[in-house]
């Protein structure tokens, strides 16, 4: 399961962030995941539930925001959404080399207890 290795890395980040914020327990987190990551949100959730057991993030609620894969076409001078990992402009067929978004795997926010009320 591909998601498992992502979740493993994610939990490490959460533990560091939680420690920095002085949280003893993480109750919620927000993720931004790019389309290029090929993540199935449900599988990510399941992997997280299993793997967070015993960690500071056990039982935390995970929200996943999916980021579409966008690239810039230098020929049309516009941004196009890439579908099916074919990196060609849907309008003119030019190869797209400038990826704008879709590679994210960012922890946007964690909430916890006792959290800083930011
Ligand atoms: Zn184009």
Residues having C-beta closer than 5 Å to ion ligand 1 = 73, 75-76, 89, 91-92, 94
pLDDT digits (tens, 9 = 90+) for 93-109: 999 989 999 999 999 99
Closest CA to 18 of 117, 93, 114: 114
The more confident residue out of 85 and 55 is 55
pLDDT digits (tens, 9 = 90+) for 38-57: 899 999 999 999 999 999 99
Cα(81)–Cα(116) distance, integer angstroms: 37
Which CA distances in Å does 60 have to 6, 13, 31, 40?
Answer: 16, 14, 12, 18
Distance 90 CA to ligand 1 centre (A): 7
3-class SS shares of the chain: helix, strand, coil, % to 5: 30, 35, 35
State the pLDDT at residue 78.
95
Residues paired with residue 81 on neighbouring β-strands, in sequence order: 70
Q: Is the pLDDT reported for residue 77 higher than 60?
A: yes
Q: What is the pTM of this model?
A: 0.79
Closest CA to 103 of 25, 39, 43: 39
């Amino acid at each position: 399961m591909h998601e498992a290795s992502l979740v493993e890395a994610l939990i490490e980040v959460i533990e560091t962030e939680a420690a920095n914020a002085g949280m003893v327990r993480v109750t919620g987190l927000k993720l931004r995941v790019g389309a290029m990551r090929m993540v199935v949100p449900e599988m990510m959730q399941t992997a997280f539930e299993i793997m967070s057991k015993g960690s500071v993030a056990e039982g935390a609620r995970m929200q996943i925001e999916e980021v579409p894969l966008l690239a810039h076409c230098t020929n049309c001078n516009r941004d196009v959404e890439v579908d099916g990992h074919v990196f060609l402009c849907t309008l003119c067929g030019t190869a797209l080399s400038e990826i704008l978004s879709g590679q994210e795997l960012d922890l946007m926010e964690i909430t916890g207890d006792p959290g800083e009320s930011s």
